Amino acid sequence: MTNTILSLKNVTKKFGRQLALEHVSLDVKKGDIYGLIGRNGSGKTTIMKIIADLSKETSGQITLLGHSKESSSYAQALNRAGSVIESPVAFNTLTAYQNMKIICLQRGIHDFSVIDETLKFVNLADTGKKKFKQFSLGMKQRLGIAMALVNQPDFLILDEPVNGLDPIAIVELRDLLEKINQERETTIFISSHILTELYHVSTRFGFIHNGKMIQEITKAEFDAIVTEGIIVKVEDTAKASVVLAEHLAAEFEVLSQHEIKISSTSATVAEINKLLVVNDIHVEGIDKQEYSLEDYYTNLVKTVGEE
């Protein structure tokens, strides 16, 4: 049995003469929280609409939960999926319960006990008669997710769910996504341009730029690549290198005439500074290097642009 929940192979999408997606390929594995990373307008929403059958690809192959989009059975895959694309859609004058009841009826679900259960799961059980139009943006996002969860989906698509949320709502949503993934064993495909939040929840990343997939990488692989280091600025890198090699059990490399990067060390900035100073090395500057997901994506885009 395949471990791949979603597969895109060479998917291209054109709007007239405009090329929105160009030969996009990606794979989402069972159990993933797959973070699709890209700037606004890079093609993230287009990909999600194509998967949800809200838009037709120009060419390429899409397989979801073992069903090809070209086959008549693709509807079966969509019945096992949920999605919130662009923004949560609900009736402004109805309560959370009433909106959930409509979704249940649309999906042929007549056991309404699932409504209370799901609203409790997303922390909206106490909204009572409060109408959707009176909800905060965070509450609207959680109701949208609840509506996508009524059919117990194996696969969940979320398009920019943290966009516009305040810090507390972002943390609440992060916790909810982890609950959905772990407690309900739901594979999640999520997009955002707020990369800090994607880093916190995702197990794999896909980087898209100008309609092209430029890299897929697991979180473990990413963490191994962007190991934090300490950057030391000194007058004499040759002399400093000798001192570091003799007294510090760590990997380091000379970056330039006056800079050394020290990695794989438990030594603090203060300890390294003291080591160099007592060995008569003039330290012009020393600081931690923090290499974020934003830095990685920015450098990746620059590299692609230079090719």
Specify whether 119 is located in the same domain as 231. Answer: no
Specify whether 234 is located in the same domain as 195. Answer: no
Q: Is 190 within the bounds of a domain?
A: yes
CATH (domain of 172): 3.40.50.300
**Gyration radius of the chain over CA positions:** 24
Q: Is 268 within the bounds of a domain?
A: yes
Q: What value does the mean pLDDT take over residues 156-178?
A: 92
Q: Determine the pLDDT at residue 66.
A: 95
Last residue of a domain, one of 191, 207, 224: 224
How far, in Å, CA of 35 to CA of 275, rounded?
A: 42
CATH (domain of 273): 3.30.70.100
pLDDT digit string, tens, across residues 212-243: 999 999 998 888 777 678 889 999 999 999 99
- Looking at the structure of the chain, the number of domains it has is 2
Specify whether 65 is located in the same domain as 204. Answer: yes
Specify whether 265 is located in the same domain as 166. Answer: no
CB neighbour burial string for 79-97, b if at least 16 within 10 angstroms, e if fewer: ebbbbbbeebebeeeebbb
Q: Determine the pLDDT at residue 227.
A: 64
Is the pLDDT at 1 greater than 50? The verdict is no
Count how many Cα atoms sit within 13 Å of the Cα of residue 273 in the half-sphere of its side chain. Answer: 12
Which comes out higher in pLDDT, residue 263 or 158?
A: 158
Is the pLDDT at 282 greater than 90? The verdict is yes
Is the pLDDT at 306 greater than 60? The verdict is no
Q: Is 295 within the bounds of a domain?
A: no
Specify whether 127 is located in the same domain as 220. Answer: yes
Q: Determine the pLDDT at residue 193.
A: 80
By the 10 Å C-beta count (0-12 exposed, 13-18 middle, 19+ buried), 211 is classed as buried
Contact 160, 193 (CB under 8 A): yes
Closest to 38 (Cα-Cα) out of 219, 292, 210: 210
Query: Can you give the residue range of the structural domain that contains 81?
Result: 4-224
Contact 62, 11 (CB under 8 A): yes
Q: What value does the mean pLDDT take over residues 2-21?
A: 94
Q: Determine the pLDDT at residue 244.
A: 92
